[in-house]
Structure 1
Amino acid sequence: MVTLGSWMAYYLGAFKSVEINSASRPAMKMIYKEHVGSYHKIVAVIQEVETWAKSQGIDCTQSFGEYIDDANMVEEIRLRSRGGCIVREIPKTLPEGFKSQEIPERSYVTAIFEGSPGIGPVKVYPKAEVFMRENGLVMDGPVIEIYVIHSEKEMTTTYLFPLAKPAEKSEPKS
């Protein structure tokens, strides 16, 4: 049993490091479908968008999940998310149920992890929260996870934690 647990931890990437920094990221164009329910069930939604994009000759090497609600605060069956592809250009027409958005350039805490995104909530999110707390940063908006599959056994997930704009400094009143 210990051997199986050790193998699973290794396979999922529990021993891999997480690279964290804060930086501005350029605008992102996305095509997606909305999903309501458990976050781990968004995979089918992402695959549906990927399949359609590929059938249209649209590059979908970067798929994503955007997780709108805090899973610690919202009942699992009510969790809202979006899943789809980051694209160079948004197509003029989309199938029924598909949507698009462009997220403008903004600052994020970025975490890069080469293990399974399934362990992200326990491996990556806590480290990002510590980084934000230690650097006086405040999250403002839904987390976006960008998935890049390199092979059957290798993938990279980039986690984007959007940051609040720094408060304007006001002049002291005399």
Structure 2
Amino acid sequence: KIDANIRVLIPVIVFILMISMHIFLTRTRYGIAIRATSMDLDMASSLGINSEKTISIIYSVGSCLGGFAGILVAAYYESLSFDIGAMMGIKSFIATIIGGLGSMYGHFVGGFILGISESLAQAYISSAYKDALAFIILIIILFVRPAGLLGKKIEKGG
């Protein structure tokens, strides 16, 4: 059985991973290539960035982070199941939409908003409503700011 201190260690590990990813994406050659490719694939290719290699790196890094997240979730719940992360995956998608799809840091903001609101809902309303609250917040944000909180404003065209 895994020690209960892992629950304290998990946020520290996640914070270190976030800082590492920030440094990787902003200070390394591959990170800058990833950001350029994500913004404009054709322009990045015309500037000499090997887009196919960069996309392979993106999938590799994403897969590694997903696997590492699975290890942390399994350690937190002290069990393993095929659907253990289904709701977490949905909520991470919701957090990304809330934060804004065009923003590099939007998913952090969306995750923070979801985490705080769910904790407050569990404490003051009922834990039965914490999952529904994520969808309610998503609907409200999409009505107010369709591009998300940090996303680029959507222009109405004709």
Structure with the higher fraction of residues in helix conformation: 2
Higher relative contact order (CA 8 A, sep 6+): 1
Q: Same fold (TM over 0.5)?
A: no
Q: TM-score, normalised by structure 1?
A: 0.23
Q: TM-score, normalised by structure 2?
A: 0.25
